A and B are shown apart, each in its own frame.
Chain A
Amino acid sequence: MSDAIAFVRARPEPLDPPPTFSRGALAWARSNLFSSLGSSLTTFVFVALAAWLLPPLFRWATVNAVWSAPDGVLCRQNQDGACWAFVAAKLDYLRFGSYPVAERWRVDVVEASGAGLIAWLIWPSAPKRAWGALLFFVVYPIAAFFLLRGSPTVGLPVVDTLLWGGIFVSLLTALVGIVFSLPLGVLLALGRRSELPAVRLASVLFIEFVRGVPFITVLFMANTMLPLFLPEAWTPDRFLRPLVGIALFSAAYMAEEVRGGLQLLNRGQYEGAMALGLNYPRMMALVILPQALTMVIPGIVNNFVGLFMDTTLVSIVGITDFLEAMNNAFKDPVWSGPTIMATGYVFAGMFYFVFCYGMARYSATVERTLARGRKR
C-alpha cells in the first residue's frame, strides 16, 4: 500500500534555472544591443564614438576647468577647460542685472513667493487651489509690481526698470506672459467658438494673424508702434511695451490650446448646463471651463515652456534678460578668455534645460494622470 503512495510527490520539483539568455543583463543586451548584424554594428559605432568624444568633454567640464579664480588670468592661460569661475563671479549680475545691491532682497522675496504660489498651483492634491489661483493671477502680479518697482508712499525707493536685468527679468516676463495671456486666451477661444459671427471673425482674425507672424516682429511692433498709437502723454514704459507684445502673442497660442479642450468636451455638458437653466457666463464658468481647462493643462504648460524660451528674444528691444546679461558679462575685459563664451553659454543652456525639461516632465505626468481618469 505505502509503496503506491510513494509515487505521489510530497513537495514540488525544484525549478530549473532559466536559460542563460532569457533574462538578466545578457539577455537584455542581446535583444536591445545585438539583435541583428546591423544592430551590433550600430552598437560598436556608438561605443567607439562615446569613447572618443565623452572623455574630452568630461575633462573639459571638470578636471581641466578653472573652478575658482579672482579674475580671468587663470582662464586665459587655460585653453582646454571650462571657466566656471567666470560664472561664479558674475552670478549676482546674471541674477539681478543692475538692480541696486541694497534692494535685491525685494527680488528674492518676489521670486520665493512666486515659487511658493506655483508649487501650490501645480501640486495636484494641494488644498484650496482656487485661492492659490486667485492669489497668483490677481494679488501676486500687483504686489510683485509694487515691490520690484518701489513706491515712495510705502517707503520703498523706486528702482527704474532700466536697471532691471538677469534671471529675474526672464522669469518675470514669462510670468507676466502667462498671467495675462491665459485669461485673454480663454476669452479668444470662447470668441472663436461663439455663435455670433462678428465675435467669431474678430477672434479668428486676431489668432491667425498673430500665429502667422514671427514673435520678433510682434516685439518690434509693440516697441515701435505702441507709442505711436497711444496719446503722447501715455507713452508706455520701455519695459512694459514688450510685455504687452508677449501677452498678446502668447494669448493667441493659449487660445488654440483652450479651443482644443473645448472641442474635446462632450456636447451633453453644454446641454446639461442649459437644462439646469444656467446662462452663458455661468455655464462657461461653472461647467465648461473647469473641465476644458483641466484637460489642456499639459498643453498650457508646454505653451509656457515655449513662452519662457521665447522671452530670450526681448533683448532685441533693449531688455536685459538672462541671456542678454550673459552676453553683457562676456564684454568684461577682466574676464576674457578663450573658453569663457562657451562656458557661459553652456551654463545658460543648463539653466534653461533644467527649467524647461522639468516643466515638460510635469506636463507629461499630468497628461498620464488625466488619461487614467478618462480611460474606461
Chain B
Amino acid sequence: MNAALLNDPRVRGLFYQGLLIAVLGALLIGGAYNAYVNMAARGIPMGFGFWSQVAGFDINLHLIPYSGVSTYGQAFWVGLANTLLVAAIGIPLTTLLGFAVGLARLSPNWLLSRSALLYTNIMRDIPLLLQLLFWYNAVLKSLPGPRQSISVGGLVFLNNRGLFLPAPVPLSGAPWFAAASGAAALAALLYRHWARRRQELTGAQAPVGWVSAGLLIGLPAMAIAGFGAPFALDVAKLSGFNLRGGIPVIPELAALVFGLVTFTAAFIAEIVRAGVQAVAHGQVEAAAALGLHRGLADRLVVVPQAMRLIVPPLTSQYVNLVKNSSLAVFVGYPDLVQIFAGTVLNQTQAAVQVMAITMAVYLAISIAVAVALNVYNARHALKER
C-alpha cells in the first residue's frame, strides 16, 4: 500500500509542490524577518511616510511643477514624466529610422543595402552604455560653446549647452489654419469611404490619393492665403553667454534620445527586414497575376502580411527602449531611476519601498504593452478556415 501511494504521480506532484512552496515561503519569511531586523537596527524607515516629506533637491528638467520644497512623491512624478518624455520622443524617431534602415537593407542597390548592414552590425555589437557615453562625453561635451554654435539653416542650433529647436508661436491665423486642416482631414476620410463603397458596388475606381492630397494641401493653403500665416518660428538667439528662446533641449536629453534612437533602430531594422522577407514570394506573384501593379501589390498584399510579423517584436523593442532609458543615470538625465532609485533612495534609505515602486512602474509598462499586443494579435491573427 505504501509503495503504491509513493508511486502515485498525483501524490508525488503534491509533495513536490508542497516542498517548493515550503522552501519559497521559508525564504520569503526569513528574508522579511532579516529585513525587519536589519532595517530596525539601521534606522531605515519602513512605511511610505517619506512619500510626503520635503525632498529638498533640485531637478534641472521638470515637466510638472517642482521646486526644492516639493515632496519625494512629487519627485517621483517628475521622474516618471521625464522617462515617458524620452519614450514619447524616442519611439517615433526610432520607428522612422528603423524602418528606413530595414528597407534600405532590402534595396537592390548594393551600396545602400551594405551600408545598412554595416550600420546594424556596428550598433548591435557595441554596448548601449558605451554609445551613450560617447555621444554625451566625447561628442556633445566637446562641441563649441554658444558663441560658435553649429547651426542648421539658422533654425536649429547645437552647442555644448544642448540642442535649441525653433518654437512655433501661434499667430491670428492659427485657429483658421487648424479648422481648415481638420475639415480637410474629415473630407478626405469621407471621400475615401464613399470611393470604397462605390468600388464595392460598381467596380469603378476613384483617384483617392490625388483628391485627398488636394484637400489636405489646398484647404490649409487657402486658410493661410485668407487669414495669414498660422504661426511664426521663435528661433533661439544669443544673449549674454547662452542662447535664449526656442525650445532648449538639455544635452543629457539630446544625448540619451540620440543614443537610444540609433541603437534601437538597428534592432527594428532587422525586424523589418525579416518581416518583409518572410512574406512568401508566391504572394507577390499571385498579386501580379491578379493584375495589381507593384505599388498596389505592396500596399494590399505584402505590407499587411509583413506587419503581422513585424508588430509583435516591434512592440518589445519599444518596451526595450523604455527600459534602456534607465541608462539615463550614467549621463545624468533626471529620469525615474536617476531621481527615484538614485537620489530619493540615497536620501531616505528606504531601499525596499523605493525599489518596489520603481520596478512596479516598469512592470506596469511591460504588462500594459503585452496586453495591448495580445489584443492586436487576436484581431490580426490568420483566420484559418
The A322-348 residues at the B interface (CB cut-off 8 A) are: 323, 327, 338, 341-342, 345, 348
Q: Mask for A21-49, Cβ within 8 A of B = 1, else 0?
A: 00000000001110110010011001100
The B196-241 residues at the A interface (CB cut-off 8 A) are: none
**Segment touching B, from A5-13, A118-126, A143-151, A309-317:** A309-317
Tell me whether A52 is interfacial, beta carbon within 8 Å: no
How far apart sit A202 and B124, CA to CA, in the bound complex (Å)? 33
Chain A contributes a number of interface residues (CB within 8 A of B) equal to 53
Tell me whether B160 is interfacial, beta carbon within 8 Å: no
How far apart sit A352 and B110, CA to CA, in the bound complex (Å)? 27
Given A198-B17, A216-B329: A349 touches B130 (CB 8 Å cut-off)? yes
Q: Classify the interface of chain A: helix, strand, loop or mixed.
A: helix
Tell me whether B274 is interfacial, beta carbon within 8 Å: no
Q: Classify the interface of chain B: helix, strand, loop or mixed.
A: helix
A contact residues around B131 at 8 Å (CB): 349
Would B341 and A217 count as touching, CB distance under 8 A? yes
How far apart sit A161 and B323, CA to CA, in the bound complex (Å)? 30
Question: B126's contact among A42, A227, A229, A349, by CB below 8 Å, is which?
Answer: A349
The A191-234 residues at the B interface (CB cut-off 8 A) are: 195-199, 202, 209, 211-217, 220-221, 224-225, 227-232
A contact residues around B142 at 8 Å (CB): 338, 341-342
Question: A323's contact among B38, B127, B358, B363, by CB below 8 Å, is which?
Answer: B127
How far apart sit A352 and B176, CA to CA, in the bound complex (Å)? 55
A contact residues around B283 at 8 Å (CB): none
Question: B16's contact among A199, A217, A221, by CB below 8 Å, is which?
Answer: A199
Given A212-B362, A214-B323: A33 touches B138 (CB 8 Å cut-off)? no
Residue on A nearest B104 in the bound complex, by CB: A42
Measured CB to CB, the closest approach of chain A to B337, in angstroms, equals: 6
Residue pairs across A and B with Cβ atoms less than 8 A apart, 18 shown, are A42-B112, A43-B111, A46-B115, A213-B359, A214-B323, A217-B358, A217-B362, A228-B39, A228-B351, A229-B31, A229-B32, A305-B125, A309-B125, A327-B133, A341-B137, A357-B121, A360-B124, A360-B125
**Interface positions of A (Cβ within 8 A of B):** 31-33, 35-36, 39, 42-43, 46-47, 195-199, 202, 209, 211-217, 220-221, 224-225, 227-232, 305, 309-310, 312-313, 316, 323, 327, 338, 341-342, 345, 348-349, 352-353, 356-357, 360
Report, nearest first, the 10 A-B pairs whose CB atoms are least far apart: A212-B366, A356-B125, A32-B110, A198-B17, A309-B127, A229-B31, A224-B351, A214-B323, A214-B326, A345-B134
